[in-house]
Structure 1
Amino acid sequence: MPLVTVLSRVALPTSTTLIQSSIATSTLLRRGFASIKEPAKYDHEYDVVVVGSGCSGLTAAVVAAKRGQKVLVVEKTGYYGGTTAYSGGGAWIPNNKHQPALGVKDSKENADTYLHGVLDTLYEPEKTKAFLETGPKMVEWMENNTEVRFKPVPLPDYHVSKEGASTGRTILTRQFDGRRLGHRVKEVRYPIQGYSAFGTMQVDPEELPAFTNPFGSFSNLLHDTRRVLRYALVGRLFYSGISEGVQFWNNSPAIKSIVNQGVRGIVVQRNGKEESIRARKGVVLASGGFGRSPEAKEYVGHDWTVQPRGNVGDGKRIGAESGGALPEKNPHNAIYAPISLLQMANGTIRRYPHFAIDRSKPGSIIVGPDGKRFANESDPYQEFIKTMHERGIRTAFFIGDSDFLKKYGMGMALPWPYPTGNLIRRGYLISAPTLDELARKIEVDAATLHQTVGKCNEHARTGHDAEFNRGENRYDNFYGDANAKPNPNLGLCQKPPFYALRLYPGNVSTMWGLVTNKDAQVLDSTGTPVPGLYAVGCDQNSVFRGQYPGGGSSIGPGMTFGFRAGEHLAGL
């Protein structure tokens, strides 16, 4: 029986309480997944061992090291950064120090009201309180004690109609010159194809228009060439860890824990052999979730993820082996996003998540297999895929005309003057001289597609989307084009050739993990901490239980509870 299937039967917490029974540990032991006993002699000794190198694990490592602990980070793959390296480094932190620069006055109470509205029965008082109290402190501490630097961005919360919604709770990471890492810059994970023009590691969403159209103006080109070697959150955290003496081992997967009345250490596969590592204070699981495991579909309801190949659930497996509890499924167990797929010549498939940058621009149209729109194209990615799930849409089509492609791009097909011929030949970008021919190629009814496009063109002329009210809230407008009138999210689709991309429901991170307390300690089936064991990031069951209040709702809690774990490990 697959491991994740076994774990799904664990009767664990409701939104606020822990049910007093669990079959996780006993089942795993019976099936031969048991951790090993403490050896007479360890190969290595550290105070803290962190399994994984995304933002949450790196935060825990840096904080613990700054507080005087001897820290080791073990990374399964050859590259540090995990899924965080694919992102723009934004963190959702209400009441942060940067909001006043935007003219925004926020408060913990205001954010708590908002989260009550977004989470409803999923709201967990203790962990939510810890997040709201510690998040702003984490930002302050990181900026005062490490290389991490944030900056404000006027991005609205994703549920703008909820009471307590605000702006500026998402903070971005200031650019970082990767040359400061020296030769180790090659150890940081590479970005997703199409999210940068020149292969930079992490691109600030505010800068994407310049990066995706570098030849649009001299200033764009100058901006890009200056930024080629600049990195964001992962680069800053990695540099901070190195500066604090954190040891980093890549190509070193953690395979099992060492248990003796709690977790005493970890066994790592390194240089072709197993090495035992004592963790005097504790082990932090930060392996990034299970999006690439065969069992993931049972939890997320679709086939595709952009998570790195190594993210197969090692953290949850090790945590359960060590006596940690896993909860019942969340209503949503991942951060969703529509994904397009590029089949490579060697048989591999590259995946591109369409968060907002392209599909929110005026002139984009997304239809289902029936040729009709089914949602606001500018909806937040989590909500957009929820709609696809609810309506049973397995494939959608993102449509634009030649003006749209030239100006904004479509996924991996970057704007002019980037070539698109190879993407068309590989079937990623579908091109047709007429809407009739496009309909034939994507196998939708031509008359219906004509009608859909005609309605959208009329909406663009009047400025009002009578079907889905697109462009009539602050979130939509943030990712639109302010130069488009009368609605920044509505534009014409009329100039041939016409283009389409196939979109599939997918995710960028799983969000179902081990049960933890406010200090990220892993809990057993009775709600008691497992000594020496912590879980952060996607190895921890999200404080938001798979809901998504705003941009950076994975990184914000990940860093916050990573910070709390680091402090707790240091005895603070």
Structure 2
Amino acid sequence: MSLTRLRPPQPSLLFTRVRAPVTFCKQTRSASAQPHHRSYDVVVVGSGCAGLSAAIVAAKHGLKVLVAEKSNYFGGTTAFSFGGAWIPVNKYQKALGIEDNAQKADGYIRLVLGDLYNEKKIKAFLSSAPEMVEWMEANSAMQFAPMPIPDYHVAKEGASVGRTVSVEAFDGRLLGRQTLRDVRYTLQGFHAFGSMQARPWDIPALTHPFGSWNNFRFATSKVVRYVFDVLRYGKGSELCNGNAMVGRLLYACKQEGVDLRTNSPVLKTVLDDKRRVSGVVIGLGDSGATEQINVKRGVVLASGGFGRSKDARKYLPHDWSACPKHNVGDGNRIGVESGAVMPPPNPDNGIYAPLSLMRKKTKNGIQIRRYPHFSQDRTKPGAIIVGQDGRRFANESGPYQEFVKEMHAKGIDKAYLIADRTFLRKYGIGMGLPAPYPVRHLIRNDYIIEAPDLQTLAAKIGVPIDALSQTVSNCNKYATEGKDPEFHRGENAYDLMLGDPSIGLPNPTLGFCKKAPFYALALYPGNVSTVYGLSTDENAQCLDKEGKPVPGLYAVGLDQNSVMRGTYPGGGSSIGPALTFGYRAGMHIAEKI
């Protein structure tokens, strides 16, 4: 999420429609060579933050660990994210002047989850989450940082500020050339010039390089470093946000001697005569050959859920996902084949966000890139979102999960973000970055629709002209008065945190849409990950149909059914539990809990 108003912490170490063929039934793969047997204590399936945290903990306790990543890149869904983790009662809250405690956090979670609350797992999360932060910082390259943002349900008793922590930027050169190149790229719109990343609080200087001498000096030094990085490494080396989290975890894995492999899909587990998971079969790239690996302690499923599987539409009320294309449910399938079960579906089985789609012709057909609109543009003053009737339907500044749930509830399968020239230049729109970065290519591509007036814009996007004109007129009036009588935008701490007080208007979330040309960007209800996974206990052990642990099998991250059950208490409510239960899985495998 965009946090352009925050003060930076001190630095330390420097898509297509859902159509993948994999389901939760058995997958077969022919082997063209005799399997080669090797042995590890632990095999982790996937390389997002959950799997890597389990790997680090296990390796730190002297266990031999393999991380097997199916794709060409490390990082999974984490690499696409902003890298925030929801960690109640974390040590950084005190630095913000916030007093938090587990009882208060537990009460808040109870109110958010309602009947979905699982006492044993929530207690485990609350006790281990702050412990995980302390352990990771003491035993690895991980370095967290405070984020003074409020919980997402600010009106509920027990809500607090600062429970979300970010990760300090990381100098990817420490990984070595090849591993740096193997870190998954961020989504388009989260970087400039291909792979130049920035921390949220650096954005103002980069978008206004001539605003001051300090801005110019900072922007120039960053661009110069980036140019040299590309010449040497083929990409930028300063890793930020989710990439920073992945980079730090990979660096810690390398320090502990973890075997890191890409292009190594785990095809199935091997069970001994007592039905214990005692090995895995791994595919060797595209050769069709396989390798059987013996596993002494445990297999940790962390493959990233099933957002890009054809099965996703059974559990999600929309077609579009911004998760990596290899996230097709391998973990769920392998778990079920090994004796684990999936619980009844959650009320919401994904982390939702409105998505914009950019279609691009390639030699292999039409490529569709997706961009999740967490808060970078839609929450800024002057952004107006309308349905195909030309009218607003929700508070544009609301949390992304709740915003898309509102789209679902009202049957809106396509909306439009409306803005003017001033907005585009100051905040950017979707993949279009703020001035001075170019956006004409996105307009030529019809990703961003441009028109000289609102009437022409309405005609171009097919919404009623009178309705759109009236909506924009109303919003300009609300900006002057500082009140949104329709959806109460800017009346809570979350909205205000994402606004922009520099506009000099009564409400920092309400701005004008007056200066031609005008722009529209199509938004679709979508998700950035699934959260429906295997049944597990408080130690991330997979459970069978009788509720007993499947020996030697763990599921974390998006392969574990969400402890939050599809609700979203605060920023990073997926990554926080992923890190925490990855930590608990590693500790349990190492026999420390």
1:53 maps to which of 44, 47, 50? 47
Equivalent position of 2:477 in the other structure: 458
- 1:279 lines up with 2:295 in the alignment: yes
1:498 is aligned to 2:506: no
Residue 436 of structure 2: aligned partner? 417
Give the residue type in structure 1 aligned to 2:176: G
Give the AA of the match of 1:567. Answer: M
Q: Distance in 2 between matches of 1:137 and 1:552?
A: 17
Letter of the 2:529 counterpart = S
**1:560 aligned counterpart, secondary structure:** helix
Q: Which residue of 2 aligns with 1:395?
A: 414
User: Normalised by the size of structure 2, how large is the TM-score?
Assistant: 0.89
- Which one is further off, 219-228 or 498-507? 219-228
Q: Secondary structure at the match of 2:281?
A: strand
Q: 2:304 aligns with which of 264, 269, 288?
A: 288
Determine the C-alpha separation between the residues in 2 that align with 1:523 and 1:561. 15
Task: Please list the CA deviations of residues 167-197 of structure 1 after superposition, one character each: whole Å capped at 9, or x if unmatched.
Answer: 0000000111111112120010001111122
**Number of residues paired by the alignment?**
545
Residue in 2 aligned with 1:20?
none
Contact 1:35 1:322 in 2 (8 A): no
Picking from 264, 274, 277, the partner of 2:278 is 264
- Name the counterpart of 1:96: 90
Query: Once the 2 structures are TM-superposed, how far is the Cα of residue 219 of structure 1 from its aligned partner?
Result: 3.3
Call closer, same or farther: CA 1:34–1:133 in 2, change over 3 Å.
Answer: farther
Structure 1 residue 483: deviation in Å?
1.1
Out of 200-209 and 73-82, give the one that drifted further: 200-209
2:22–2:310 CA contact under 8 A, matched in 1 = no
In structure 2, do the counterparts of structure 1 residues 120 and 207 end up closer, same or farther at CA, with 3 Å as the change threshold?
farther
Task: Report the CA distance between 1:198 and its aligned residue.
Answer: 4.2
Does the alignment pair 1:255 with 2:267? Answer: yes
Residue in structure 2 matching 1:196, options 177, 191, 196: 191
The SS at the match of 2:98 is coil
Deviation string, structure 1 residues 452-507 (Cα, Å, up to 9, x no partner): 00000000000011111101111111111021221110000011000000000011
In structure 2, distance between residues paired with 1:442 and 1:352:
19
* Match of residue 539 from structure 2: 519
1:119-518 paired onto structure 2 within 5 Å: 119-183=113-177, 184-200=179-195, 203-211=198-206, 217-224=212-219, 225-226=221-222, 228=226, 229-231=237-239, 232-260=244-272, 261-271=275-285, 272=287, 273-346=289-362, 347-484=366-503, 485-518=505-538
Whole-Å separation in 2 of the counterparts to 1:483 and 1:285 = 46
Find the residue that maps to 1:458 and give its secondary structure: helix
Please state how far the C-alpha of 1:419 moved relative to its aligned partner. Answer: 1.6
* 1:457 partner letter: N
**What letter matches 1:565 in structure 2?**
A
How many angstroms apart in 1 are the aligned matches of 2:270 and 2:507?
59
1:348 alignment partner, SS class? strand
Query: Secondary structure, in 3 states, of the residue corresponding to 1:483?
Result: helix
Cα distance in 1 for residues equivalent to 2:319 and 2:245: 29
Q: Distance in 1 between matches of 2:194 and 2:100?
A: 36
Change (3 A) 1:109 1:211: farther
Secondary structure of 1:344's match?
Answer: strand
Residue identity in the other structure for 1:60: A
Contact 1:126–1:518 (Cα < 8 Å) also in 2 = yes
Q: Confirm or deny: 8 A CA contact 2:86 2:571 kept in the other structure.
A: yes
> Against the structure 1 CA distance between its residues 43 and 171, is the aligned structure 2 distance closer, same or farther, given a 3 Å change threshold?
same
Q: 1:270 to 1:34 in 2, by over 3 A?
A: closer
Query: Is the CA contact (8 Å cut-off) linking 1:254 and 1:267 kept in structure 2?
Result: yes
Whether 1:548 aligns to 2:542 is: no
Give the corresponding residue for 1:13. none
1-structure distance, mates of 2:206, 2:298: 42
**1:21 corresponding residue in structure 2:** none
The structural deviation recorded for 1:220 is 3.8
Give the TM-score normalised by the residue count of structure 1.
0.92
User: Compared with structure 1, are the counterparts of its residues 426 and 219 closer, same or farther at alpha carbon in structure 2 (3 Å cutoff)?
Assistant: same
- The structural deviation recorded for 1:217 is 4.7
Work out the CA distance in 1 between the residues paired with 2:540 and 2:209: 43
Unpaired stretches in structure 1, ≥5 consecutive residues: 8-27
How far apart are residue 6 of structure 1 and its match?
8.7
Instruction: Indicate conservation of the 8 Å contact 1:263/1:283, yes or no.
Output: yes
**d(CA) in 2 for partners of 1:559, 1:407:** 35
Question: Could you tell me how far apart the structure 2 residues matched to 1:379 and 1:244 are?
Answer: 42
Structure 2 distance, partners of 1:324, 1:191, is 33
Alpha-carbon contact 1:170-1:552 (below 8 Å) kept: yes
The worse-fitting range, judged by mean Cα deviation, of 412-421 and 234-243 is 412-421
C-alpha contact (below 8 Å) 1:268/1:274 kept by paired residues:
yes
Assess if the C-alpha contact under 8 Å between 1:365 and 1:400 holds in 2: yes
Evaluate the alpha carbon distance shift between residue 185 and residue 494 of structure 1 in structure 2; reply closer, same or farther with a 3 A threshold.
same
Q: Match of 2:232?
A: none
Aligned partners of 1:196 and 1:211 also within 8 Å: no
Task: Report sequence identity in percent.
Answer: 56
Cα 1:222–1:122 shift into 2, 3 Å = farther
Q: Which residue of 2 aligns with 1:14?
A: none
Distance 1:221 1:275 in 2: 53
2:27 touches 2:267 (CA, 8 Å); kept in 1? Answer: no
Q: Which has the larger displacement, 198-207 or 376-385?
A: 198-207
Unmatched 5+ residue regions in structure 2? 1-18, 227-236
* TM superposition shift of 1:524: 0.3
Matched residue type, 1:239: Y
Look up the equivalent residue of 1:98 and give its one-letter code: Y
d(CA) in 2 for partners of 1:436 and 1:502? 17
Are the equivalent residues in 1 in contact too, given 2:350–2:527 (CA < 8 A)? yes
User: Are the equivalent residues in 1 in contact too, given 2:339–2:544 (CA < 8 A)?
Assistant: yes
Could you say what the CA RMSD is over the residues aligned between the two structures, in angstroms?
2.0
Moved more, 446-455 or 418-427: 418-427
1:410-446: CA deviations, max 9, x gaps?
0011111122211111110000001000000010110
- The question of whether the paired residues in 1 share the 8 Å contact of 2:23 and 2:311 is answered with no
**1:35-74 → structure 2 map (5 Å cutoff):** 43-74=37-68
Letter in 2 for 1:397: Y
- Structure 1 CA distance for aligned equivalents of residues 390 and 328 of structure 2: 36
